[in-house]
C-alpha cells in the first residue's frame, strides 16, 4: 500500500555516487513501490544534495523488516556513541 506520505529531513553528511563523494544536505523518506528491489513495497530513502543537480543522489529501497532493523541499529549505534563520548547529539 502506497501511503504517499513523504518525510523531508535536512541532513549533513556525504554520499558516494558514480562521480565520487559529494556532500549531502537532504533526505527524503517514503513508502512506495520499488523501482528495483524485489518486494511489493519498500521504504525508500533518497540521500541528496539538490544544489549539485540530479546526479548528486543516492537511493535506497528496503523491505519493511530491513528498514526497521536498520532504524534500530542506527539508534543503538548513536546511543552507544553518546555513552562512550559523552556527546549528546539530540
Q: Give residue-wise pLDDT tens across range 33-71.
A: 889 998 889 999 999 999 999 999 999 999 999 999 999
Question: Mean of the per-residue pLDDT values for the chain?
Answer: 91
Grid coordinates given for 84:
562512550
- Can you give the pLDDT at residue 90? 65
Domain boundaries, the chain: 6-63
Alpha helices in the chain (DSSP H): 64-85
pTM for this entry: 0.84
In terms of pLDDT, which residue wins out, 14 or 82? 14
- Can you give the pLDDT at residue 4? 74
Residue 27: how many CA atoms within 13 Å on its side-chain side? 12
**Average pLDDT of span 17-31:** 95
Which bin fits 59, alpha (ψ -120 to 50), beta or left (φ > 0)?
beta
Amino acid at each position: 500500500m502506497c501511503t504517499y506520505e513523504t518525510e523531508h529531513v535536512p541532513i549533513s553528511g556525504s554520499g558516494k555516487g558514480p562521480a565520487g563523494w559529494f556532500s549531502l544536505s537532504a533526505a527524503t523518506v517514503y513508502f512506495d513501490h520499488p523501482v528495483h528491489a524485489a518486494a511489493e513495497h519498500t521504504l525508500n530513502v533518497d540521500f541528496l544534495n539538490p544544489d549539485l543537480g540530479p546526479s548528486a543522489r543516492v537511493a535506497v529501497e528496503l523491505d519493511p523488516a530491513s528498514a526497521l532493523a536498520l532504524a534500530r541499529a542506527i539508534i543503538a549505534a548513536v546511543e552507544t556513541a553518546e555513552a562512550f563520548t559523552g556527546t549528546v547529539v539530540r
